[in-house]
């Protein structure tokens, strides 16, 4: 049994974060085992957890083989005589209560959140929010956002706290193709989840509606948004002075102002058609404009409702959004989230909950052991395999001839 050099936390320790009592209690409080014969909630949880880790490209067929694998059954103490078919997995995923997996996800996230309170180096709670799309042929995906190329997409919007995914939404309705619709819903969902929060939500160019910014300010939701360049505004007051720092690291500050922004007010004409009349929103915002040191023609426009942060802190907060880009790349390349195992919204939600649970386990393993993403996943899998081997050896008392396959 190999132990990796300088390892600070083991897979066995991380798996204990998922208490057996929690899985059992949720069987009662949710409807996860309604009509289930073999694939009970706990078995599905373990199957998806192990399947996501073990398979390079997950499918219902690979899940069938995984369930029937003696190593999987030994690792999670399941009955070796039970077997299932792909069709059973497909049917189970379509009907299983996704709330079971949602509550497990929340429990695991909360435990890690409490154990690792200093999620990033900033003194502020920065939460970066972004979306990604997964596409399938329109004939396969039950419900999705239609595209002209004959495909449908599912959009998932994720809030990332600097270490872990803290909230997500799955969208299949056409209106959510716009980030101005999807991102506010994701942010409001996280705000509702975290009452009394002190978060500042950092968003890229996807969200531009002034009405949404006004609503956030009214509800005391802090934000930093990268705005379109040369956005129309009226300056109320200049917040720059000669004593202010204009060197923002990779950027140089050229404007820091208190401003009012324009929005379009919907007006219905006599024929019933809607057009928009431009008007100023009374709520003041802060506009920070900076230019790149390496590309003088490149400017960054930031809009925020926080007047306490320095301009440098605003720029650095946006720069940290690279964390969520790396996270998306990790779950797409290493955990196959860009491939849909199942094709209705309930199934997709279950798979995404499970993918984010696996991601959290690997991210904590990565952080604590101070290794990279790929190394963390590879070693996590190896430790899980070694744990199963140790259990097999223990059960057969060292004589593999006694082990029934």
Q: Are 235 and 259 in contact (CB under 8 A)?
A: yes
Q: Could you read off the pLDDT tens digit of each residue along the chain, which spans 405 residues?
A: 445 666 788 888 898 888 787 888 887 788 787 666 778 888 899 999 999 999 888 889 999 999 999 888 888 888 888 888 888 888 888 888 889 999 999 999 999 988 886 555 456 789 999 999 988 766 677 788 887 777 889 999 999 999 999 999 999 999 999 999 999 999 999 999 877 778 999 999 999 999 999 999 999 999 999 999 999 999 999 998 755 668 888 899 999 999 999 987 777 776 667 767 788 999 999 999 999 998 888 999 999 999 999 999 999 999 998 899 999 999 999 998 888 887 788 889 999 999 999 999 999 999 999 999 999 999 999 999 888 888 777 766 655 555 555
Buried (b) or exposed (e) across 367-404, using 16+ Cβ within 10 A?
bbbebebeebbebbeebbebbbeeebeeeeeeeeeeee
**Who's near 249: CB < 8 A, 6+ residues apart?**
312, 315, 316, 319
Q: Give the pLDDT confidence score for residue 73 in this predicted structure.
A: 87
Q: Are 261 and 280 in contact (CB under 8 A)?
A: yes
Q: Give the pLDDT confidence score for residue 1 in this predicted structure.
A: 41
| Whole-number Å distance between alpha carbons of 101 and 78 | 20
DSSP for residue 179: H
Q: How far is CA 337 from the centre of its chain?
A: 11
Residue 155: enclosing H or E segment and its boundaries?
A: strand 151-160
| Whole-number Å distance between alpha carbons of 4 and 8 | 9
Locus of tokens 């230019």: 291
């Amino acid at each position: 049994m190999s132990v990796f050099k300088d390892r600070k936390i083991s897979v066995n320790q991380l798996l204990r974060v998922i208490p057996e009592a929690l899985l059992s209690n949720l069987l009662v409080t949710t409807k996860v085992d309604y009509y289930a014969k073999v694939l009970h909630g706990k078995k599905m949880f373990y199957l998806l957890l192990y399947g996501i880790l073990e398979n390079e490209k997950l499918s219902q067929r690979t899940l069938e083989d995984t369930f029937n694998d003696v190593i999987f059954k030994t690792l999670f103490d399941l009955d070796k005589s039970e077997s299932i078919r792909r069709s059973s997995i497909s049917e189970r995923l379509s009907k299983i209560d996704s709330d079971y997996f949602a509550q497990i996800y929340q429990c695991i996230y909360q435990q890690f959140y409490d154990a690792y309170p200093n999620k990033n180096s900033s003194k502020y709670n920065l939460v970066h929010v972004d979306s990604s799309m997964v596409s399938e042929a329109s004939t396969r995906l039950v419900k999705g956002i239609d595209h002209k190329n004959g495909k449908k997409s599912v959009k998932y919007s994720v809030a990332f706290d600097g270490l872990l995914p803290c909230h997500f939404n799955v969208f299949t309705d056409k209106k959510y193709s716009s980030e101005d619709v999807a991102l506010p819903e994701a942010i409001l969902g996280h705000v509702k989840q975290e009452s009394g929060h002190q978060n500042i939500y950092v968003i890229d160019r996807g969200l531009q509606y002034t009405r949404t910014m006004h609503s956030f300010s009214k509800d005391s939701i802090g934000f930093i948004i990268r705005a379109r360049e040369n956005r129309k505004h009226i300056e109320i007051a200049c917040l720059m002075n000669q004593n202010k720092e204009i060197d923002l690291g990779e950027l140089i500050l050229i404007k820091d102002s208190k401003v009012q922004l324009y929005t379009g007010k919907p007006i219905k004409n006599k024929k019933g058609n809607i057009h928009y009349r431009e008007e100023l929103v009374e709520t003041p915002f802060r506009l920070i404009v900076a230019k790149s040191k390496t590309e003088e023609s490149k400017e960054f426009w930031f809009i925020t409702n926080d007047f306490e942060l320095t301009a440098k802190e605003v720029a650095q907060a946006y720069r940290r959004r690279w964390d969520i880009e790396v996270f998306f790349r990790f779950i797409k390349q290493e955990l196959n989230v860009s491939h849909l195992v199942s094709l209705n919204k309930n199934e997709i939600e279950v798979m995404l909950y499970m993918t984010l649970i696996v991601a959290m386990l690997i991210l904590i393993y990565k952080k604590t052991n101070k290794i990279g993403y790929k190394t963390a996943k590879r070693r996590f899998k190896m430790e899980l395999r070694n744990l199963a081997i140790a259990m097999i050896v223990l059960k057969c008392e060292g004589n593999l001839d006694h082990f029934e396959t």
